[in-house]
Amino acid sequence: MRDALQVHGALSRGVFAVVVLVSLAVLFAPASDVPSAPPGVDKVVHVALFAALAVAGRWAGCAAAPLGWLLLGYAVVSELIQGFTPLARSASLADGVADLAGILLGLGLWAALARRSSPAP
């Protein structure tokens, strides 16, 4: 397991790039392209998306603090773009909170996996 957490160069950066592209598609799709779902599912999507961004970013070698702050900025900007552009979507504080929860979850998950895989002294 220890080797799986090592920064894998092109592979880890490629995975991070794909997750970023998926996030762009999910966050900036026009309202007409967003499928209907039961209440609360969108919050689960936000948490999962930002957790994936955090884990993929850490695997790609990004330091935790700068990555966390950049993802938080991305979350805020994405909500503003959704609310104030012709995407016909709405800005939501609850979505922003879900994004923050996902960031913290992803960074925490990475830290836990890294601790678990480090050799015992």
Tell me the mean pLDDT per 10 residues along the chain, length 121: 63 94 92 81 94 96 96 96 84 93 97 79 59
What does the DSSP 8-state code read for residue 3? G
Domain boundaries, the chain: 3-117
Helices and strands: H and E segment counts in the chain: 4, 0
Q: Which pLDDT value is given to residue 88?
A: 79
DSSP states of 93-107 as a string?
HHHHHHHHHHHHHHH
Count CB atoms within 10 A of the CB of residue 81: 14
pTM: predicted TM-score of the whole model, two decimal places: 0.88
**CA–CA separation, 119 vs 121, rounded Å?**
6
